[in-house]
């Protein structure tokens, strides 16, 4: 069993009444310098072209908050319901990122943000 240490975690919340999210986001440090983002008990409103982003803004409340910040895409959302894991690129300083967001790339819309706090 791979030992994983939680570096940061947060809870997804609704962006607005039409874009809802829930569940836990955790940034985990694995062996050999691997860093992962794990989503558990996750659910978000389905939409087109959804991606998972790490965002430097700690509490993005709107699409413009996200767009005004620096971000790193972890790729396409694997599914709008269920547990899932994403690899964070090697060399990424996760201490610089304050939130995880579910983002609609096609329309530039925030679906659900999770503010990250240190630890589990």
Domain boundaries of the chain, sorted by first residue: 5-114
Token digits for 48?
């087109």
Assess whether pLDDT exceeds 60 at residue 1: no
Check residue 32 and give its pLDDT: 80
In this prediction, residue 2 has a pLDDT band, given cuts at 50, 70 and 90, of low
pLDDT at residue number 19: 98
The average pLDDT across 7-21 equals 98
CATH number corresponding to 5-114: 2.60.40.200
Considering the chain, what is the average pLDDT of its residues? 95
Determine the 3-state secondary structure of 9 from DSSP: strand
Average pLDDT over residues 76-105: 97
């Amino acid at each position: 069993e791979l030992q994983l240490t939680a570096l940061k975690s947060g809870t997804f919340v609704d962006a607005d009444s039409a874009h809802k999210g829930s569940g836990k986001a955790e940034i985990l440090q694995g062996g050999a310098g691997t860093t992962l983002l794990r989503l558990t008990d996750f659910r978000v409103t389905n939409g087109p072209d959804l991606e998972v982003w790490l965002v430097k803004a700690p509490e993005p409340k709107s699409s413009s908050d996200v767009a005004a910040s620096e971000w790193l895409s972890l790729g396409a959302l694997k599914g709008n319901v269920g547990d899932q894991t994403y690899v964070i690129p090697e060399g990424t300083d996760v201490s610089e990122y304050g939130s995880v967001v579910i983002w609609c790339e096609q329309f530039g819309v925030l679906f659900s943000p999770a503010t990250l706090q240190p630890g589990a």
